[in-house]
Amino acid sequence: MPRATIRDLLNKFGWDLVTGSPRALERPVTLPDTNRPGLELAGYFPDTARRRLVILGAKEMGYIHEEMDEVAQRRAFEFLTGPMTPGIVITNGSRCPEILEEIARRKDFPVARTLEKTTYVVNNVTNFLDEKLAPSHIIHGELVQIFGVGVLICGKSGMGKSEIVLELIKRGHQLVADDRVDCYRIHNTLIGRSTPMIEGFMELRGVGIIDIQKMYGVTSIARQTEIQFQITLGRFDGHNNYDRVGIEEKKYTEILGIQLMDVEIPVSEGRPMATIIETTVTNFLLLREGINSAKEFEERVLREIAKNRCDTEGDD
């Protein structure tokens, strides 16, 4: 399962730690949301999102100092520093309330401060945790960016996927991941990237491991891309029913709940696969713009048939 801790947030954003031992910094953050505790400070605790990171902004700090006495503060802070809460972040450079610091030190609870505005902190934390905690899935295949489109190329081992992608790279397209593609769902977007250990490298049978960036330049690789389209390679044996015209019902595959158009392309000796894949991606871009070449061709054929029928009836 994806995991994040208070230490990850401190390292990412450089917050100043007020309280919390190294052990406290390992408290898990399991939700990509934050909690600005208005009702909790007012003494209303039911239905509180206890697993969210607590953010104390200017409004909360003003209410604490101006409206809450010591008894109310102790009651609220005892609740907000509970075992399920990951931590507390105080924004706008405000000082940590003495009672909160006292309770947090006693419980070894992490409290941090930052000079950043509350809105920036909430947005940055949410975006970071959205990616850090995103559901993930590993796929065996190639991920390459072609004409700005993230294309997942799949197929059985030995189909020559790496060799095809290498030819695409030589044509100016970008490698994202070879052999292993790590997929993450962030909101309703499917993001693909390589595992850091093999990022930028490719394995070719008979050659070994090659460094794509050093061989073809820094623009030959991309760190990640949105996966928008899948191409599945298969052996051409004369029995499989591949699209000939393109008016057939489109096929889709599902990854982490997101539907991707999936085009099956047969592989055989002598076929210029890189050119065919470029053409397939270009056709996909046209389909997204509402331009369907196969439908236009079908309509042209139907018009010609209707015209010939009229001519034949006229001769009769």
Q: Is 235 a catalytic residue?
A: no
Domain assignment present for residue 41? The answer is yes
In percent, the amount of the chain with pLDDT more than 70 equals 90
Q: What is the model's pLDDT at position 246?
A: 56
Q: Is 140 a catalytic residue?
A: yes
Cα 122 to Cα 53: distance, rounded to the nearest angstrom? 10
Do 276 and 150 reside in the same domain of the chain? yes
Please identify which of the residues 113, 161, 173, 193 carries the catalytic annotation.
Answer: 161
Q: Is 95 a catalytic residue?
A: no
- Output the domain CATH number for residue 256: 3.40.50.300
Q: Is 65 a catalytic residue?
A: no
The pTM assigned to this predicted structure is: 0.74
Do 83 and 72 reside in the same domain of the chain? yes
Domain of 210 in residue numbering reads as 136-296
Please identify which of the residues 23, 187, 239, 244 carries the catalytic annotation.
Answer: 244
Question: Final residue of a domain: which of 100, 133, 166?
Answer: 133
Across the range 121-140, mean pLDDT stands at 93
Q: Catalogue the E-assigned strands of the chain.
A: 4-5, 16-19, 28-29, 34-35, 53-56, 88-90, 111-113, 136-146, 149-155, 174-186, 189-193, 201-204, 208-211, 224-235, 252-255, 258-267
Strand partners, 22: none
pLDDT digits (tens, 9 = 90+) for 170-215: 999 999 999 999 999 988 899 999 998 999 999 988 899 999 999 9
298 — pLDDT class (breaks 50, 70, 90): low
- Decide if pLDDT at 293 tops 80: no
Domain count, the chain: 2
Please identify which of the residues 52, 132, 178, 179 carries the catalytic annotation.
Answer: 179
Rg (CA), the chain: 28
Do 57 and 199 reside in the same domain of the chain? no
Cα 153 to Cα 59: distance, rounded to the nearest angstrom? 51
pLDDT digits (tens, 9 = 90+) for 241-275: 655 555 567 889 999 999 999 999 988 887 899 99
Domain assignment present for residue 306? The answer is no
Domain assignment present for residue 152? The answer is yes
Please identify which of the residues 140, 156, 223, 271 carries the catalytic annotation.
Answer: 140
